[in-house]
């Protein structure tokens, strides 16, 4: 029932359970149902998550009772509730399982350790493996079936998708995650100056970004395509530029190169760990970075860490990544601190 990124970062661990012989039954909200339907090995238990999280008391009770009636019909081997908030355990109260897993900040075994890849940590917790040396992080697990891209065949030399909105959930608009909209506009202008195609990606709640691009020729997919179609659009692109949001993780499931922009959140936890991915972390040396604790951000009016990532820096890495991809030489993922001494260095490469 989590955000897009949480679900995508849980998929590798669930897949490893499946490969061990488990059936995977996933409680998911209606918004994410189309994404998980792209994984035929997952059986879905779809719930009205909007009613549970934002509905009236009657709507909440009705949705929970519907879920309980399905969960209580059989016995389970493992019941995993990957939340710290104990209220989510209420949803699986009637589950009869030989082993129950829930996140806990008190126990190392079930605590997602900061600065580590969440995909690695969710996998470790789900499989119950020892917290020991692991030489490589887990790559995103791409879907085996997707719809066709709604975009026509690429006619420009390069097609770049940008994600100016996002960073929202049922509870809040996490605007501090966003790269400022005017910087996306500057990047789009620079891309169009090279006669590259620019694609706008975003959900139905991101239509507010459209007026900023009225004077720029773009392919507008904001709020008009499904989540699986968004992955297909990314597959048709040479690269995707996004701050820390759901579409960043969707791009990680595609074969496009990815430039992820971070500030108040730690990219080591959320950056997709696959070749052709670069994370730009602004605010190098800031005493307040990262300020996100999993629920809230520190009060901030400057968003200085995000502004430290300039359109010129993003363009530099777009050129580098797309050139490498055209030569079929994808580089390992890397994390770059900005601003660096010369604006282009300070890379932590894996």
Same domain, 120 and 221: no
Instruction: Report if residue 133 sits inside a domain.
Output: no
Three-state DSSP at 234 gives helix
Q: How far apart are CA 84 and CA 182, in angstroms?
A: 36
CATH number at residue 110: 3.40.50
Same domain, 180 and 258: yes
Q: How far apart are CA 61 and CA 112, in angstroms?
A: 30
Same domain, 164 and 74: no
Instruction: Report if residue 197 sits inside a domain.
Output: yes
The structural domain count of the chain equals 2
Instruction: Report if residue 103 sits inside a domain.
Output: yes
Same domain, 274 and 335: yes
Contacts of 143 (CB under 8 A, 6+ apart): 35, 38, 39, 228, 231, 253
What is the arithmetic mean of pLDDT over 136-149?
95
Q: What angle do CA 306, 311, 317 make, to 5 degrees?
A: 100
Write down the number of H helices and E strands in the chain: 11, 12
pLDDT in tens, 24-41: 999 999 999 999 999 999
Same domain, 29 and 170: no
Instruction: Report if residue 242 sits inside a domain.
Output: yes
Instruction: Report if residue 136 sits inside a domain.
Output: no
* Alpha-helical segments (H) within 156-288: 181-193, 227-235, 246-252, 267-270
Same domain, 320 and 179: yes
Looking at 106, 127, 148, which one is the last position of a domain? 127
Q: 10 Å Cβ neighbour count for 31?
A: 17
Instruction: Return the pLDDT at 331.
Output: 80
Domain of 33 in residue numbering reads as 4-127
Helix (H) or strand (E) holding 317: helix 311-326
Which residue shows structure tokens 């897949």?
A: 15
pLDDT in tens, 76-107: 999 999 999 888 999 999 999 999 999 999 99
Mean pLDDT of the chain: 92
Got the DSSP string for 77-121? Answer: EEEEE--SSGGGGGGGTT-EEEEEEE--SS-GGG---TTS-HHHH
Same domain, 123 and 170: no
Instruction: Return the pLDDT at 169.
Output: 59
């Amino acid at each position: 029932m989590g955000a897009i990124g949480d679900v995508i970062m849980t998929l590798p661990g669930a897949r490893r359970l499946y490969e061990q012989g488990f059936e995977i039954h996933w409680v998911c909200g209606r918004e994410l149902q189309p994404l998980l339907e792209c994984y035929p090995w997952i059986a879905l238990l779809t719930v009205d998550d909007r009613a549970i999280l934002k509905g009236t008391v009657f709507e909440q009770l009705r949705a929970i009772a519907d879920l309980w009636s399905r969960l209580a019909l059989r016995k389970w081997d493992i019941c995993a509730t990957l939340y710290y908030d104990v209220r989510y355990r209420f949803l699986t109260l009637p589950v009869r399982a030989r082993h129950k897993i829930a996140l806990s900040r008190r126990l190392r075994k079930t605590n997602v350790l900061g600065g580590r890849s969440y995909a690695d940590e969710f996998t470790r917790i789900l499989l119950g493996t020892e917290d020991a040396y692991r030489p490589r992080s887990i790559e995103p697990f791409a879907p085996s079936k997707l719809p066709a891209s709604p975009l026509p065949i690429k006619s420009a030399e390069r097609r770049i998708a940008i994600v100016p909105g996002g960073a929202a959930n049922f509870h809040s608009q996490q605007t501090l995650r966003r790269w400022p909209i005017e910087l996306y506009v500057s990047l789009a202008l620079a891309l169009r100056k090279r006669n590259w195609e620019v694609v706008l990606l975003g959900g139905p709640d991101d239509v507010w970004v459209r007026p900023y691009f009225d004077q720029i020729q773009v392919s507008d997919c904001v709020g008009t395509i499904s989540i699986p179609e968004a992955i297909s659009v990314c597959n048709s692109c040479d690269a995707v530029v996004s701050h820390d949001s759901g579409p960043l993780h969707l791009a990680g499931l595609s074969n496009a190169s990815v430039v992820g922009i971070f500030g108040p959140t730690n990219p080591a936890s959320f950056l997709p760990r696959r070749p052709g991915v670069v994370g730009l972390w602004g605010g190098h040396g800031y005493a307040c970075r990262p300020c996100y604790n999993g629920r809230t951000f520190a009060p901030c009016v400057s968003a200085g860490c995000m502004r430290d990532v300039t359109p010129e820096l993003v363009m530099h890495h777009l050129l580098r990544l797309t050139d490498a991809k055209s030569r079929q030489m994808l580089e390992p993922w890397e994390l770059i601190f900005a601003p660096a001494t010369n604006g282009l260095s300070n890379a932590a490469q894996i």
